[in-house]
Amino acid sequence: MPTDTFDASTDTSVDASTVPVPDLWKGAHRDDRSRPRSRQRQLGPSSIGLCRRRAAYEVHGTWPTDLDDTMHAAILGTWLHEGILRVLAEQYGAHTELELTNGVILGHADAYWTPSGQVPGVVEDVKTKSTRALDVVARQGPSQHEWFQVHLYAHLLRTGGLTEHPHLPTGKPLEVDVVRLRYVGREYGQVIVHQRAYDEDVTRQALAWAEDVLDSPEPEAMPRDLDGPGLSVICDNCPFKTTCWQLNELADDGRAPQTILAEDTAAVTDALSAYADAAEIESAAKKRKAKARKMLDAADAGTYGNFQLSWSGGNPRPPEPDAAAMQRILEDLGFDVPLKPGGRTSRTIGVTRLPETS
């Protein structure tokens, strides 16, 4: 018995080019902004220790001026993060996404293991990172702000800060003796883990930082703890960047936002001092680096102690146009040499340390 089949190649009733395609990233950004954490106005542990002015903007309910619709990597990190927590829960028995609060600080701990046998109570925070950011963690370890965050989760658990939960007692102290930070690479899945015993001193420092922000009369009373747009990735992606650095008032002459920090003679003098100090250190470091580079010129790639040596480049380059020769030919033939606007030369700063006067 013949069977009817569908031949897509002969169906011309629909023009596929006119069928709208839902914009994945527009929807993803709307979804991300609707999450409870995105709409949170209480101070969260993830903001503590990062930048006091940014945290103060959050606490005072300042409307964001810079909602970035190109933060694809961050949203991919969120999706990866959700999968990691599911694995920790289903494969290793972790309690995940615990809402914690003391009425002032509100946070969500990624994972918590109750003590069992010889294994103490552990609270963990999971962070997804780019390969470059993961390399910084490998070389320098967790930042103070990251240790603040996971210690505050432990503190809230230890002081009965757990809200509604289907399996754990709420409003009662829970045992936490170890804090853990797990970093996962977004590109290749590399994993770096740092853990340590819970430290009351770290928690006290984090709470003092938070209290300073919570007591602020207005965001502008808090200092900017980071270096600003163009110098800090955190500032580049801050939702309050324009307000904080007065970008709408910045003169359209290519000057940096950081010029607002040089508000008087004393501030300019301090900046000159910092520049001169850094230039002297940089000069000495460049000389040491240049000598070391010469010494390594004949060394084979490989592992030497705690260092890995590798080489790249050294390949022949293809021929390049000879601009000077082309100019000579045009001039010999009597043609005008085509010119383009020269623009301006870059500004060069000169800072000289003057001898101290008695």
Q: Which DSSP symbol is given to 234?
A: H
**Strand, coil or helix: what is 254?**
coil
Q: Do the domain assignments include residue 56?
A: yes
Q: How confident is the model at residue 36 (pLDDT cuts 50, 70, 90)?
A: low
Q: Are strands 95-101 and 122-129 parallel, antiparallel or unpaired?
A: unpaired
- For residues 180 and 300, what is the distance between their CA atoms, to the nearest angstrom? 38
Q: Do the domain assignments include residue 11?
A: no
- For residues 113 and 182, what is the distance between their CA atoms, to the nearest angstrom? 14
Q: ∠ at Cα 138 (134, 142), nearest 5°?
A: 85
**Number of C-beta neighbours around residue 54 at 10 A:** 24
Check pLDDT > 70 for residue 37.
no
The answer to whether the beta carbons of residues 157 and 98 sit under 8 Å apart is yes
Q: Do the domain assignments include residue 202?
A: yes
Q: What is the pLDDT of residue 35?
A: 63
Q: Do the domain assignments include residue 164?
A: yes
pLDDT single digits (tens) 237-270? 898 999 999 998 887 777 899 999 999 999 999 9
The answer to whether the beta carbons of residues 184 and 128 sit under 8 Å apart is yes
E-strand stretches of the chain: 95-101, 106-113, 122-129, 178-185, 191-197, 302-304, 307-309
Q: Do the domain assignments include residue 135?
A: yes
**Strand, coil or helix: what is 287?**
helix
Mean pLDDT calculated for residue range 44-71: 86
**Strand, coil or helix: what is 282?**
helix
The answer to whether the beta carbons of residues 134 and 192 sit under 8 Å apart is yes
Exposure string over 308-329, b if 16+ CB within 10 A, otherwise e: eeeeeeeeeeeeeeeeeeeeee
Mean pLDDT calculated for residue range 39-61: 87
Mean pLDDT calculated for residue range 119-143: 92
> Which residue range is the domain that position 61 belongs to?
29-226
Choose among 160, 37, 175: nearest CA to 106. 37
* Size of the chain in residues: 358
In this prediction, what percent of the chain has a pLDDT beyond 70? 91
Q: Do the domain assignments include residue 153?
A: yes
Domain count, the chain: 1
Task: Provide the CATH number for the domain around residue 219.
Answer: 3.90.320.10
Mean pLDDT calculated for residue range 318-327: 93
The answer to whether the beta carbons of residues 97 and 85 sit under 8 Å apart is yes
Query: Which has more confidence, 21 or 121?
Result: 121
pLDDT single digits (tens) 292-322? 999 999 999 999 998 889 999 889 999 999 9
Q: How confident is the model at residue 38 (pLDDT cuts 50, 70, 90)?
A: very low
Q: Which DSSP symbol is given to 339?
A: -
- For residues 186 and 131, what is the distance between their CA atoms, to the nearest angstrom? 7
The mean pLDDT value of the chain amounts to 88
pLDDT single digits (tens) 218-239? 999 999 999 999 999 899 989 8
What is the number of helices (H) and of strands (E) in the chain?
A: 10, 7
Q: Do the domain assignments include residue 119?
A: yes
Check pLDDT > 60 for residue 1.
no
Q: Do the domain assignments include residue 189?
A: yes
Structure tokens at 197: 């015993």
